[in-house]
A and B are shown apart, each in its own frame.
Chain A
Amino acid sequence: MTIRFVTMVVLFVLVFSSIGLTQAYAQKTLTIDLASDHVDITTGFNGANLILYGMKDRPGEIAVVIRGPEKKMTVRKKNRVLGLWMNTEHMDFDGVPAYYDYALSKKEGLSDAEEQVLFENGVGLATLIYEPRDAVPERDRIQSFQQALIRNKQLNHLFPMEAGSIEFLNDDFFRTTMYLPSNVPRGTYEIETFLFRQGQIIDRSATTMMVAPVGLNARVYDFATQKSFYYGLICIFIAVFAGWLINVIRNK
């Protein structure tokens, strides 16, 4: 009796939820999902792959962009002072994403209209040129600092060298993989996907992902930042103990 009742409830739920799902798909021409919505920084963390799956039901090209938390960056330039190289010039930039990467289903032969629509939606290296906080008259000087910012981020694998690829598993189902290096900053990452055709955005879909330490790393970090005095005392205690230990072994 009860088994039959449970079965009926399950069937009921299944039928209704599938109706709900088909309705949702009918409204949406672009659907995306992450293989995992969080990246855990564990003690052995050495970078991670971010896998995004998506489905589209209309023809068009796909662009995926991922942005880390925004930071204030300072770019410094060294000059020779009395024969020694020291930082003498700097330029500040606001709102620079701590991490940025993007992927395109069509990398070559983009029309001007397509290039334009991607640029307007923050897709591509060209969108990573930021204006300095303080007005600087010399355009050349600004450009060299802007380029240095991108170059430096690329060197640390926090900005891409070029667009990543999007793999199509069939006409509508696609997948892309982005690599997050081991120095990836913690925080909330925003992922946007665009379906575009002939210079028009047909649909867009956005999601977020968390990058945060877990386990021992998280506990050490929380303890060190929230109870820093006791954390400091523990560090000192460990050192005192080690010093004493060296002595004990020495005397044996």
Chain B
Amino acid sequence: MQIYLPIAEISVPAETIFILGCTVGFLSGVFGVGGGFLTTPFLIFLGIPPAVAVGTQANQLVASGMSGTIGHFKRGNVDVKIGGMMLVGGVVGSFIGILIFRLLEYLGQIDFAVSLLYVVLLSSIGVLMLSESIFSSFKKKTVKSHFNAQRVNPFIARLPYKMRFPRSKLYISALVPIGIGFVGGILAAILGIGGGFLLVPAMIYILGMPTILAAGTSLFQIIFTTAAATLMHATMNNTVDIVLGIILIVGGVIGSQFGLVFARVIKPNHARTILAILVLAVSGRLAYKLLATPYDLYSTVVM
């Protein structure tokens, strides 16, 4: 069934979008990831303008951030103060990200930049995850040992505007969480991803937050950062397609239920390996597009 998207201004097969939503929902159910890395490239591949894909995806991430946060919040795994600092940086980052996006679009480099950024981010994350899961299947105990007992980098220790964050037991410059949130905001605005896979390690290794708090706090601030990004995409660019968004979200709600069932069955290490392979596959597909000689060297856009 073809459905006409009022903002993207093209007609797309509704089933395909729905299945994409289900798949992403399934992944978020199993792995707790937002799945933006899968949705955005696929929507662009379907012929949806990159700006609409990213704008709508930012809205989609509000939903997955929300569903992830509630559970963490109930268990007390959210540091609201650090999250608040991060989302200040996140909102500013989204705004700058949208400006960068517009500039790249004007220069005709948006597809290239988005693909390249995805390839760099996804391939490094994928390789890291894959090596970690292979490593941990040989030595089962050593994985988590280096997460605790963080020593704060001397450069970070010298930064001004120090604040106390009692929940995480940290005394650190407010600039650090703001800066991490800022990077997350830029990624959300340009790539349509929540950036959890980048933010969580940064919060653990740079901020020195406990792992369990990092995941919950990252999700908590993603809600607000992506909501701000959605509002900016909607008002500045008119690139949030609510029809596309609703199909993706409905698919996501259904898919996540299957994902949660599957998550109880599969071993965490196997799940991580599958996710790593998936991340590498998406990265490989995008890398191929950058490297292979295009079918037509010329492309046309309405300015």
Q: Do A and B come from one complex?
A: yes
Binding site for B on A (CB under 8 A): 41-47, 71-79, 83-87, 90, 92, 98, 144-145, 148-149, 151-153, 182-183, 185-186, 213, 216-218, 220-221, 224-225, 228-229, 231-236, 238-240, 242-247, 249-250
With A86-B112, A145-B298: A235-B238 Cβ-Cβ less than 8 Å: no
List, in ascending order, chain B residues with CB within 8 A of A42's CB. Answer: 4
Binding site for A on B (CB under 8 A): 1-4, 6-7, 9-11, 25, 59-71, 108-109, 112, 116, 223, 227, 230-235, 238, 240, 242-243, 245-246, 249-250, 252-253, 256-257, 260, 290-294, 296-303
In the docked arrangement, what's the CA distance between A249 and B240, Å? 27
Least CB distance from A182 to B in Å reads 4
List, in ascending order, chain A residues with CB within 8 A of B294's CB. Answer: 78, 85
Partner of A235, one of B59, B67, B108, B301: B59
Report yes or no: B240 in contact with A231, Cβ–Cβ below 8 A: yes
Report yes or no: B4 in contact with A87, Cβ–Cβ below 8 A: no
Report yes or no: A239 in contact with B63, Cβ–Cβ below 8 A: yes
List, in ascending order, chain A residues with CB within 8 A of B6's CB. Answer: 213, 216-218, 220-221, 224
Report yes or no: A228 in contact with B303, Cβ–Cβ below 8 A: no
Least CB distance from B47 to A in Å reads 8
With A232-B235, A235-B230: A152-B246 Cβ-Cβ less than 8 Å: no
In the docked arrangement, what's the CA distance between A61 and B292, Å? 49
Least CB distance from B159 to A in Å reads 33
In the docked arrangement, what's the CA distance between A220 and B293, Å? 39
13 A-B pairs with CB atoms under 8 Å apart are A43-B3, A73-B301, A76-B108, A76-B300, A84-B112, A86-B109, A87-B108, A224-B234, A229-B231, A232-B230, A232-B233, A246-B252, A250-B71
List, in ascending order, chain A residues with CB within 8 A of B10's CB. Answer: 182-183
Report yes or no: A242 in contact with B63, Cβ–Cβ below 8 A: yes
List, in ascending order, chain B residues with CB within 8 A of A233's CB. Answer: 231
In the docked arrangement, what's the CA distance between A220 and B253, Å? 23
List, in ascending order, chain A residues with CB within 8 A of B61's CB. Answer: 239
Report yes or no: A87 in contact with B300, Cβ–Cβ below 8 A: no
Report yes or no: B300 in contact with A220, Cβ–Cβ below 8 A: no
Least CB distance from A161 to B in Å reads 16
Closest to A144 in B: B298
Least CB distance from A5 to B in Å reads 51
Report yes or no: B303 in contact with A242, Cβ–Cβ below 8 A: no
In the docked arrangement, what's the CA distance between A61 and B10, Å? 36
List, in ascending order, chain B residues with CB within 8 A of A44's CB. Answer: 1-4
Closest to A183 in B: B10
Report yes or no: A242 in contact with B299, Cβ–Cβ below 8 A: no
Report yes or no: B253 in contact with A229, Cβ–Cβ below 8 A: no
In the docked arrangement, what's the CA distance between A247 and B7, Å? 29
In the docked arrangement, what's the CA distance between A148 and B25, Å? 40
List, in ascending order, chain A residues with CB within 8 A of B256's CB. Answer: 246, 250
From A75, A149, A236, residue with most partner B Cβ within 10 Å: A236
Partner of A92, one of B233, B235, B253, B303: B303
Report yes or no: B290 in contact with A243, Cβ–Cβ below 8 A: no
Least CB distance from B8 to A in Å reads 10
Report yes or no: B231 in contact with A74, Cβ–Cβ below 8 A: no
List, in ascending order, chain B residues with CB within 8 A of A45's CB. Answer: 2, 4, 11
Partner of A85, one of B66, B233, B290, B300: B290
Report yes or no: A239 in contact with B60, Cβ–Cβ below 8 A: yes
Partner of B257, one of A74, A149, A236, A249: A249
With A238-B246, A243-B66, A246-B253: A224-B240 Cβ-Cβ less than 8 Å: yes
